[in-house]
Structure 1
Amino acid sequence: MHESPADTPASAMAADAAALVSKALVPYNLKPPDEDIAALLSGLTIQGEQLLCDVIRRNGAAAAGNALEDWRTLTGRGPEASPLGDWNRVRALARVVRAFHRVITQEG
């Protein structure tokens, strides 16, 4: 049976990443509960690690320069000590994941 491009693992991962990014980048007044923020943090970290591998494999590091720097900062330390620390971190990770995906689709 032939897989359509929409059925490939890469497209499924892209759809998962897009869904997480959309959930994370809602307006501040729609901030999800802390449990959802924790799940978003986990999911975005996993997606980011997978996309990072693709960025590096495709020699997209130059194009992803600022996003790579943000990724190192966000994954190298915890969130700021504030009521919105985890939420801000999730939103920043979502922007990095979105940037990684753009680099990969532009390179591919």
Structure 2
Amino acid sequence: MHHIDPEMKHCIDECLRCYQACLSTAMGHCLEMGGKHTERKHFTLMMACAEICRGAAHFMLLGSEHHKHVCRECAEICLQCADDCERIGDMAECVAACRACAESCRKMAA
């Protein structure tokens, strides 16, 4: 196994936390609420965010040098998702997870 430094370990944890938050919020809360919570653009963004977070964690766990590119994209999508979840409202956990993941991935991409 390759060495994972503490900063990368933290980023992996944030990515997996955001993956879980986006997926569970979308599949639970958003589907229950309906309306603007299930509008195609918003719901697709939440699914894209969950998937890029899972992917970024995967690239870091692999030890791939390409993790920087994936983390850069992950940070961008997480910020968009946080803003959109905030706009719709009542998704504080998802917003917080997205913002924390974006910050961690931004550092990892640097």
> Which range, TM-score by smaller chain?
0.3 to 0.5
Q: Which has the higher helix share?
A: 2
State TM-score, norm by structure 2: 0.45
Q: Which protein is bigger by CA-based radius of gyration?
A: 1
Greater relative contact order, per chain length (Cα 8 Å cut-off, separation 6+): 1
State TM-score, norm by structure 1: 0.46
